[in-house]
Amino acid sequence: MADIIQLLPDHVANQIAAGEVVQRPASVVKELLENSIDAGAYSIKLIIKDAGKTLIQVIDNGKGMSATDARLSFERHATSKIRSAEDLFSLNTKGFRGEALASIAAIAHVELKTKQDQDELGTVIEIEGSEIKNQEVTVTPTGTSLCVKHLFFNIPARRNFLKSNNVELRHIVDEFHRVALAHPDIEFLMYHNGSESFNLPKSNYRQRVVNIFGNKTNEKLVPVVEETEVLKISGFVGKPEFAKRTRTEQFFFVNNRFIKSPYLNHAINSAFEGLMKDGSHPSYFLNLTVDPKSIDINIHPTKTEIKFDDEHTLYAILRAAVKHSLGQFNIAPVLDFDR
């Protein structure tokens, strides 16, 4: 009898994982922006060329990495964010799988420049398809710059599957919006093909929504505030008469993480019942805060779905809170920027 099972080499395992983590340029954008936030950055710049097909670069002023960590960050399951399985139940970082950089470096040309505040000099590392091409000491500001070129250079099927620049850019902008909305206290800049697409200064939540979706948004925002033992809600819904034909202004954040939840979306729709025309969708920008122990965000690698312990209770609280706000909206202060 012959033994035929082998452990896959790392670069193959990385490429397989990349299939899950990196679907398109926007997935890279999401992972890099989240890493910058986890690094404590308060200013984050996203630079894109050709909808990310030619270049995706994220520059932050976060805490940077040591030379050793810079090298380790590209290993699979290498993370500074959790140490044990218990940590999974009290996550307060975006990342924890230690998969993103290893995956991205398996399917692109990556250049990392990073420096910690206390160090005079930083580190530059170049990796192509999991292979380290260069690592040396360099002059670079405190923080991290990650530059991703030639995405999917070694996976022609993925490259060919990419959509038009318009469509890929749309996906990138969607990710950028989600991250920027979740963190109004961080400055975000975005450039596409050399021109500025977004310049979002540090602000409060209402201002951030308005800076992204335009000044006209301001008058339609109705604050939603609720605090119970299991759920804290803050944010805004759009007045019913401003409901849209598309779902482009529907955002749930749970503990500062964008999530998709058809079930909670239903709670909002039901709060708007009778107030809107059929086929239109209410705008909402809602932050839900729950005990991290009561959710499981580990069910999907891209982490846009989570599992709640007690969905029914959340549904009821959310629906009631939105209904209450809508009942009061004609007396809500429309131009109050301090909320």
The 3-state DSSP class for residue 100 equals helix
Decide if residue 96 touches ligand ADP (CB under 6 A). yes
How far, in Å, CA of 186 to CA of 195, rounded? Answer: 21
Among Mg ion, ligand ADP, none, residue 39 binds (CB under 5-8 Å by kind): ligand ADP
Q: CB–CB of 279/245 below 8 Å?
A: yes
* Of 83 and 277, CB closest to ligand ADP: 83
How far, in Å, CA of 180 to CA of 186, rounded? Answer: 8
Among Mg ion, ligand ADP, none, residue 79 binds (CB under 5-8 Å by kind): ligand ADP
Supply the DSSP string of 209-267, one letter for each residue. Answer: HHHHH-GGGGGGEEEEEEE-SS-EEEEEEE-GGG-BSSSTTEEEEETTEEE--HHHHHH
Decide if residue 79 touches Mg ion (CB under 5 A). no
Relative to beta strand 284-289, strand 43-49 is unpaired
**Applying CB under 6 A, what is the total number of residues that bind ligand ADP?**
23
Print the binding letters for residues 96-125 with Mg ion: x by CB under 5 A, - otherwise. Answer: ----x-------------------------
Q: CB–CB of 187/201 below 8 Å?
A: yes
Q: CB–CB of 253/181 below 8 Å?
A: yes
Decide if residue 73 touches Mg ion (CB under 5 A). no
User: Which run of H or E residues covers position 30?
Assistant: helix 25-38
Among ligand ADP, Mg ion, none, residue 80 binds (CB under 5-8 Å by kind): ligand ADP
Out of 29, 46, 65, 314, name the contact with ligand ADP by CB under 6 A.
65
Print the binding letters for residues 1-40 with Mg ion: x by CB under 5 A, - otherwise. Answer: ----------------------------------x-----
Paired residues of 56 in beta bridges: 48, 148
Q: How many CB atoms lie within 10 A of CB 75?
A: 15
Q: Give the HSE-up count for residue 227: Cα atoms under 13 Å, Cβ half-sphere.
A: 0
Among Mg ion, ligand ADP, none, residue 243 binds (CB under 5-8 Å by kind): none
Decide if residue 135 touches ligand ADP (CB under 6 A). no
Tally of residues, the chain: 339
* Of 34 and 249, CB closest to ligand ADP: 34
Decide if residue 18 touches ligand ADP (CB under 6 A). no
Decide if residue 62 touches Mg ion (CB under 5 A). no
The region of 93-101, 183-191, 200-208, 276-284 touching ligand ADP under the rule CB under 6 A is 93-101
Out of 52, 64, 95, 238, name the contact with Mg ion by CB under 5 A.
95
For ligand ADP, the binding residues (CB under 6 A) are: 31, 35-36, 39, 60, 62-65, 73, 78-81, 95-102, 144
